Structure 1
Amino acid sequence: MAGKKKRIKIILLTATFSIVVALFYVFDLQQYLTLQYLKSSKTLFISYYEQNPILVLGSYFLGYVVMTAFSLPGAVWMTLGGGAFFGLLTGTVAVSFASTIGATLAMLISRFILRDWAQGRFGKQMQTINSGIQKDGGFYLFTLRLLPIVPFFVINLGMGLTPLRTFTFYWVSQLGMLPGTLVYINAGSELAKIEAIGDILSPTLIGSFVLLGIFPLLV
């Protein structure tokens, strides 16, 4: 009986995942996740936010969680939007919690639903990740979170195939993603000055993240 209930839950979650991803592409929601759209809609969005702050912020938060949980593209633009629309403090708090909750849900989806697919898709990378987790535990995840070269969704899906505890994944992810979140939120608050992603992540800044990430592994 318990096994049957578990299968039903997996089927429902898989169906939900498929529907959300399909709707994202069917309605071409990616068109709203561009630098040009953020700039053109900033004034209007801020006006909505001033009239209905709880509704707008809540909708943004939920949208960010869903997008991250289902590994949909656009996190960079959502984060820039958080800075542009809500400012440095509110934007940082909202994105920090939304991105971490979404990442944790993505990890759990990988662990309990997409395990076979993720194992087949990222099998080679998983050998490295598992080795790192066994050797350095949460410090390894912290390092990955600080390295801009590692795709956000790959870390989430990959960690779902490791024995890392959910709570450890959550708090290490939130801490490790915070520096990057601050950089993008701050950049978003000065949206008019940005012409490309390269204007945000300079080689010096990337180098600083790398050094910060590998330091715990060296001590």
Structure 2
Amino acid sequence: MNRRKYLFLCALLGAFALAFWLLPPGTLTLDSLRAHHQALLAQVQRAPVQSAALYFALYVLVSALSIPGAAVLTLLGGALFSLWQGTLLVSFASTLGATLAMLVSRYLLRDWVQRRFAEQMKTVNAGMNRDGAYYLFALRLMPLFPFFVVNLLAGLTRLGVRRYWWVSQLAMLPATIIFLNAGSELGKLTSLRDILSPGTIFAFTLLGLLPLVTRWLFSRFSHSSR
């Protein structure tokens, strides 16, 4: 491991230690949020700008380190901020965190994986270069694929950071709004299952597949018309 990667790994471990200190086990749960909701709301009313900045930084940290709890943090955003404020904060914080997580995967793992699975990754990279935005859009919208898994896989490809950013921000926006809206009724929620019903999951899956199906149909029609 060269010096840069060693320093990068040390910084990553330091960030994990900071996150563990700020968020001890049991912090990012619905029960914990409900218990501290009124105190947090009062703090936001006393210092709205500082509270928004702290919330944004905390969300980026949780997302970048793939710590379970991003969904609960989104609910908290809906409970503490207005819908437009929460959307702005969560949309950019989640995308920044996801991009940092992708870069961690790429910087620490990509070279080894590319060497170890050269032939397999050649095919994956070709597909991502051709349809990367479509695949990423579909994966982001499908609740079956966890947030951190998509970040990890994207880091092992040659997908550009700029494209990764805007596709992620666009694709995660519908779920962000749904969770923020649900967070405004935090006291009525008993679990995350109350938010994503089977019908909602099915709708997200269809929405995610739409770009891929459209591209496939367009390609098939173009070839048949020649």
Partner of 1:210: 205
Partner of 1:46: 41
- Per the alignment, do residues 168 and 72 of structure 1 end up closer, same or farther by CA in structure 2, a change over 3 Å counting? same
- Per the alignment, do residues 119 and 206 of structure 1 end up closer, same or farther by CA in structure 2, a change over 3 Å counting? farther
Per-residue CA shift, 1:77-126, capped at 9, x if unaligned? 11111101112111111000000001011111111123367779xx9x97
**Distance apart, 1:24 and its partner CA:** 3.7
Q: Aligned partners of 1:82 and 1:13: how far apart in 2?
A: 30
Helix, strand or coil at the partner of 1:114: helix
Helix, strand or coil at the partner of 1:31: coil
- Per the alignment, do residues 181 and 81 of structure 1 end up closer, same or farther by CA in structure 2, a change over 3 Å counting? same
Is the radius of gyration larger for structure 1 or structure 2? 2
Helix, strand or coil at the partner of 2:190: coil
Partner of 1:3: none
Task: Select which of 101, 107, 110 maps to 2:102.
Answer: 107
Partner of 2:3: 8
- Per the alignment, do residues 206 and 11 of structure 1 end up closer, same or farther by CA in structure 2, a change over 3 Å counting? same
Task: Select which of 54, 57, 62 maps to 2:57.
Answer: 62
Instruction: Give the RMSD, CA atoms, in angstroms.
Output: 2.6
**Distance apart, 1:183 and its partner CA:** 0.8
Q: Is the 8 A contact 1:142 1:213 kept in 2?
A: yes
Which deviates the most, 14-23 or 165-174? Answer: 14-23
**Distance apart, 1:167 and its partner CA:** 0.1
Q: Is the 8 A contact 2:19 2:61 kept in 1?
A: no
Q: Is the 8 A contact 1:118 1:157 kept in 2?
A: no
Q: Is 1:170 matched up with 2:165?
A: yes
**Normalization by structure 1: what TM-score?**
0.88
Q: Is 1:153 matched up with 2:148?
A: yes
Q: Aligned partners of 1:33 and 1:91: how far apart in 2?
A: 17
Which 5+ residue runs of structure 1 have no aligned equivalent? Answer: 1-5
Per-residue CA shift, 1:135-159, capped at 9, x if unaligned? 5220110000000010101111110
- Matched residue count: 212
**Distance apart, 1:16 and its partner CA:** 1.3
Partner of 2:139: 144
Q: Is 1:73 matched up with 2:68?
A: yes
**Distance apart, 1:31 and its partner CA:** 1.4
**Normalization by structure 2: what TM-score?**
0.85
Q: Aligned partners of 1:204 and 1:109: how far apart in 2?
A: 34
Q: Aligned partners of 1:190 and 1:115: how far apart in 2?
A: 42
Which deviates the most, 16-25 or 203-212? Answer: 16-25
- Per the alignment, do residues 99 and 118 of structure 1 end up closer, same or farther by CA in structure 2, a change over 3 Å counting? farther
Which deviates the most, 59-68 or 168-177? Answer: 59-68
- Per the alignment, do residues 28 and 96 of structure 1 end up closer, same or farther by CA in structure 2, a change over 3 Å counting? closer
- Per the alignment, do residues 140 and 16 of structure 1 end up closer, same or farther by CA in structure 2, a change over 3 Å counting? same
Q: Is the 8 A contact 1:84 1:188 kept in 2?
A: yes
Q: Is 1:96 matched up with 2:91?
A: yes
Q: Given residue 48 of structure 2, which amino acid in structure 1 is its aligned partner?
A: P
Q: Is the 8 A contact 1:129 1:158 kept in 2?
A: no
How high is the sequence identity, in percent, across the aligned residues?
A: 46
